[in-house]
Amino acid sequence: MQPYRMLRICNAVIIYRRIYMKKVIVLVMFMVGLLVPALACEIEFEVSEKSQKEVYNVGDEIIVTVQVSFTHRVCSEGIDLTKFDADGVKVAQATKWREIKPGVWERKLKLEVIGNHSGDLSLTATRTCDKEGGFGSLEFKGVALD
């Protein structure tokens, strides 16, 4: 085989690898780009130390801090549109939302245990918007009602 022909083949292989790698990189960036819009508002719950128990009885009070982080920085829906659904507990009191840092909101809730037949108590928070919204859930164990 002639040397110039071998050189042309090597150059073709190198060019092919570069094009292939660029395609792989573009594909990976595209896949990551698809995942980014799927990120929703992050909703986290934290039960205060004084309120923590293994099993809650009817009438017990639970202090919960709710934190909502806007992953999209600015959300088209206001923080007040966050909806809470409770099973076996009810929201007795709640503070107003306050922004603790840009894009991160916090609120404290005082929950009262009212119980249910299963003994599985829960509090869920839901945000609905054009950027996927958000969802968070907190579960407790309670005494089952007869």
Cα Rg for the chain, rounded, in angstroms?
26
State residue 16's pLDDT score: 66
State residue 96's pLDDT score: 97
State residue 88's pLDDT score: 95
The residues near 84 (Cβ < 8 Å, ≥ 6 apart) are 91, 109, 123, 124, 125, 126
Q: Which two tokens stand for residue 53?
A: 């128990």
State residue 71's pLDDT score: 79
Contact (Cβ atoms closer than 8 angstroms) between residue 87 and residue 122? yes
Length of the chain: 146
State residue 34's pLDDT score: 59
Q: Which two tokens stand for residue 101?
A: 């840092």
State residue 41's pLDDT score: 84
- Mean pLDDT per 10-residue section of the chain, whose length is 146 residues: 65 68 65 57 94 94 94 78 95 96 94 95 90 88 88
Strands 42-47 and 120-127: unpaired
Q: Give CA–CA dist 146/117, Å, rounded.
A: 6
Q: Give CA–CA dist 47/101, Å, rounded.
A: 21
